[in-house]
Amino acid sequence: MTRQHLGVLIGGLLLLAVAMGISRFAFTPILPFMRIDEGLSFETGGYLASSNYIGYFVGALGAGFVFRNKKNILLLNVLLNVASIFFMGFTHSFWLWIILRFIAGATGGYIFVLTSSILMDYLASHFLTKWSGFLFTGIGFGIALSGLLVPFIEMFYQWEGTWIGLGILSALFLVTTIVLWRKVSIKDNEKVQKSNDTKIFQGFMPWLILAYGLEGLGYIITGTFLVDIIYNIEGLRQFAGYSWVVTGIAAAIASPIWSMLISKFSTVRVLSIAYILQIFGILLPVFFQTAWSVFLSAFLFGFTFIGIVSLSTGYARELFPKQSGAVVSALTTVYALGQIIGPIFASKFESYFNSFKAPLAFAGIIVVLGLAILLIGKGLNDRKQPATITEISNNPSSLS
């Protein structure tokens, strides 16, 4: 890989670090400090999280209609995203937070979809597709970075200064990417005609979509409140920020490992392993409140949520190569809906039972249900088509 190719890949990695690791998920380690200083309830935190996920849903869908000037539209969204991070530290208004988190989500959706599209096209045009999986390490890098920086900055500048500091860091990442991409020209896509093929809603696909939607609902509860839950356990508060670092490291190494596994085993089998590991990680803090259980839970969360998204969307594309847009859109929609309602359900359970164990137990049950639907659907489909064995290609796909 030449220096220019490496620079393009690093630029994309930094943009995903901004959009996902910082803008989207830095909220998780900052939330405990905001709740204490501003007197926010667990339920209020859930509304802020859902506002961001609603925005992401809107942005991800909107990005699908961008066919021209992709690079300029992408960079404009990154600028707005950075501004939404920065200004979180300048207001104490709940409704302004709601608006800013929505903007962060909407622009983050655009950034993720467009960055993935641009990088995939660029790498493919230079016969470097094998490097595409490393793009998603940017998400883990951003999560780990936010986990390291949030407790340190908050110690000196409170939660307000933490948002501002992360905004400045994100601006530096944007400037770095602009420099690295200055010689990169992006070819506009041609708008393709929709196919009349409706078979994507037959066979195994509806089962995969439903299981994936339940995964979105279950995983996001841990993704939103993990650090806050740990922070409120006596004796474990000192490990709260570091747990998010572990999550980021696990997410950063996940894609290459899952890609290796699907080259040796069937996709559904590997997906089942990912679901089981995630269920174990979600429920671990319910039964054990120790340092090792906290770090293991954080690691399993980061490792599996990246894997499940990559495997599910990649498998859908493999099943319907001529309908990839339709199937990925369907998966993205149900996943995003799960992310929107997940934090709200979690906050209601915590408020009713007055315990963090209730939302985690709920999340675990939901992912168990998702796994059951996945396996039942696969079993029923195999009975109808016993001779058909479909394998996923060794090509990590974009997150939803």
Residue range 27-55: mean pLDDT, rounded: 88
Contacts (Cβ under 8 Å, ≥6 apart) of 25 = 142, 143, 146, 223, 244
Decide if 302 contacts 179 (C-beta within 8 A). Answer: no
Confidence (pLDDT) at 148: 87
Distance, CA of 75 to CA of 343 (rounded, Å): 30
User: What does the block give as tokens for 21?
Assistant: 């690791």
Q: How confident is the model at residue 275 (pLDDT cuts 50, 70, 90)?
A: very high
Superfamily of domain 1-184: MFS general substrate transporter like domains (1.20.1250.20)
Residue range 252-279: mean pLDDT, rounded: 89
Distance, CA of 352 to CA of 118 (rounded, Å): 46
Distance, CA of 209 to CA of 330 (rounded, Å): 7
Of 200, 222, 213, whose CA–CA distance to 316 is shortest?
Answer: 200
Q: Between helices 205-231 and 324-353, what is the axis angle to 10°?
A: 40
Residue range 299-313: mean pLDDT, rounded: 88
Q: How confident is the model at residue 199 (pLDDT cuts 50, 70, 90)?
A: low
Q: Compute the mean pLDDT over every residue in the chain, rounded to the nearest whole number.
A: 84
Whether 140 shows a pLDDT value over 60: the answer reads yes
Confidence (pLDDT) at 323: 61
Residue range 234-246: mean pLDDT, rounded: 82
Confidence (pLDDT) at 118: 82
| Domains of the chain by residue range | 1-184, 197-400
Within this chain, domains 1-184 and 197-400 share the same CATH topology:
yes
Torsion of CA 96, 99, 105, 109, to 10 degrees: -140
Q: What's the predicted TM-score (pTM) here?
A: 0.80
Of 10, 369, 380, whose CA–CA distance to 202 is shortest?
Answer: 380
**Helix, strand, coil share of the chain (percent; to 5):** 80, 0, 20
Q: How confident is the model at residue 390 (pLDDT cuts 50, 70, 90)?
A: very low
Decide if 114 contacts 33 (C-beta within 8 A). Answer: no
Confidence (pLDDT) at 283: 92
Contacts (Cβ under 8 Å, ≥6 apart) of 195 = 322, 323, 326
* Residue percentage of the chain with pLDDT more than 90: 37
Confidence (pLDDT) at 196: 45
Decide if 285 contacts 248 (C-beta within 8 A). Answer: no
Q: Read off the amino acid at residue 170.
A: S
192: exposed, middle or buried (Cβ count in 10 Å: 0-12, 13-18, 19+): exposed
Superfamily of domain 197-400: MFS general substrate transporter like domains (1.20.1250.20)
Decide if 194 contacts 327 (C-beta within 8 A). Answer: no
Confidence (pLDDT) at 129: 67
Decide if 113 contacts 63 (C-beta within 8 A). Answer: yes
Contacts (Cβ under 8 Å, ≥6 apart) of 12 = 115, 116, 118, 119, 135, 138, 177
User: Could you report the per-residue pLDDT of 60-91, keeping only the tens digit for each?
Assistant: 788 877 777 888 999 999 999 999 999 999 99
Residue range 12-32: mean pLDDT, rounded: 91
- Which long-range CB contacts under 8 A does 385-393 form with residues at least 24 apart? 385/203, 389/266, 390/267, 390/315, 390/318, 390/319, 391/262, 391/266, 391/267, 391/318, 392/262, 392/267, 392/311, 392/314, 392/315, 392/318, 393/314, 393/318
Confidence (pLDDT) at 324: 55
Which of 116-125, 264-273, 320-329, 373-382 bottoms out in mean pLDDT, i.e. has the lowest?
320-329
User: Which residue's structure tokens are 């539209």?
Assistant: 73
